[in-house]
Structure 1
Amino acid sequence: MTFWKRLRFYMIGASLGLCIVLVFFGPKAVQCSYFPNSRALEEAKIYPITFSESAAATVDADKIDSVFLFNEILKKSKITNFGTEEVRATPCRVYRAEYREAKSYDLVYEICKKKTVITELKKVN
């Protein structure tokens, strides 16, 4: 058997195997972030988010849309209160975060059972 014939059989088998693997396992959104800051922010995005009245007023005043909130504020913020009792509180853990990019915001949110409550969202100048 010539080299080209073997290469052709190999490519056919490899492409069929790849198709079968993609069908069974499919594309998945996998995240491998085990740092505490990323885990706390990602956990906030898992549950439905509700706003307090003051946070809702800030969202309306600054015209913050949900895409900016999810992809920017709840992704690139830095949690500032690790190691405090607020993080270990029951039934709701309280996290304080700072977002310092083009716009600056301070965020306080609580992760309760099956929901996230943004209690405070302030624009910092």
Structure 2
Amino acid sequence: MKFVHRFAYYLIGLIMGCFFVALVFSGKDTRCNYFPNARVLNTLRTKPFQYSDKAIQTLNEKWVDTADVKNTLQFGDVDFDQSNVPMKNGKLYVIEGKTVKNQEIILKVINYENKAVLEEITKKPLDK
């Protein structure tokens, strides 16, 4: 069999395979969170999210808002050295992110079994 014929069969099979894979995965809410950082952030985003009194007080200071919190939960970095600490029947996660004004912030979120609570929002100290 000539190379051109083999290549044509390969392409036909590849196109049919891609079609069936797209058919199977379309309409499903599938995510590929392979790394620990992505898994933690996805878990926190999908649970009902609440704010503590301290976090609400910080949000009222107007240097940070809920959009910054959502962006941090989407694109932030989990500090695993300080995170995964048992606290109040849940686990504490420390997440570093930025505001829309490019100011670095740190979120402390407690992940309970059925909800996530933002405990504290702080400015990241400048490294010297």
What range describes the TM-score normalised by the shorter chain of this pair? 0.5 to 0.7
Give the 5 Å matches for 1:36-115. Answer: 39-60=39-60, 61-66=62-67, 68-72=68-72, 75-82=76-83, 87-99=85-97, 102-115=102-115
SS of the residue 2:86 aligns to: coil
Q: Which residue of 1 aligns with 2:33?
A: 31
Q: Distance in 1 between matches of 2:46 and 2:5?
A: 51
TM-score, with structure 1 as normaliser: 0.66
Q: Distance in 2 between matches of 1:64 and 1:112?
A: 23
User: Which structure has more RCO (C-alpha within 8 Å, separation ≥ 6)?
Assistant: 1
The question of whether the paired residues in 2 share the 8 Å contact of 1:50 and 1:117 is answered with yes
Encode CA deviations 1:40-85: one digit per residue, 9 max, x unaligned: 444322311111223123234124243x3233356224245247xx
* RMSD, aligned CA: 3.3
Q: Distance in 1 between matches of 2:54 and 2:43?
A: 22
Give the fraction of aligned pairs with identical amino acids, expressed as a percent: 21
79 and 64 in structure 1: CA distance in 2 versus 1, 3 angstrom threshold: farther
Give structure 2 stretches of 5+ with no counterpart: none
Aligned length: 119
The question of whether the paired residues in 1 share the 8 Å contact of 2:44 and 2:73 is answered with no
SS of the residue 2:33 aligns to: coil
Q: Distance in 1 between matches of 2:4 and 2:78?
A: 55
Q: Distance in 2 between matches of 1:90 and 1:54?
A: 16
The question of whether the paired residues in 1 share the 8 Å contact of 2:77 and 2:95 is answered with no
Between structures 1 and 2, the one with greater helix share? 1
